[in-house]
Amino acid sequence: MTIKKMRAVRAGEVPVDGGTAVQESADRPVFRGNGEYDYVCVSCGSLLAAGMDPQYMTRRVRVRCARCATVNISAELPVQAARRARREA
């Protein structure tokens, strides 16, 4: 398997329709599939998702690491804020 390091969620970066999966034990990944990539925590290297394909690890998927409590995201592009900017009247 190829290892991909996730990145930390930036302040204010909340997906409109996403959620955060919580890893209960550092010994078990949150997601397990039959794909080619293993996703690891950006801070401590803990395995968060095993055997996943990139199309399933979108910007809506966030994972909080059980070992270091870092919230990780696999999206390489910044996620837009959940709220739209106000329009000037």
CA 78/CA 80 separation, integer angstroms: 6
DSSP 8-state symbol, 80: P
Is residue 55 scored above 70 in pLDDT?
yes
- pTM (2 d.p.): 0.79
The amino acid sitting at 89 is A
Give the distance from CA 85 to its chain's centroid.
25
Q: Is the pLDDT of residue 84 over 90?
A: no
Among residues 66, 79, 75, 83, the alpha carbon closest in space to that of 21 is found at 66
pLDDT of the residue at 5: 93
Going 26 to 31 to 46 to 57, the CA torsion angle's sign is negative
Domain boundaries, the chain: 2-73
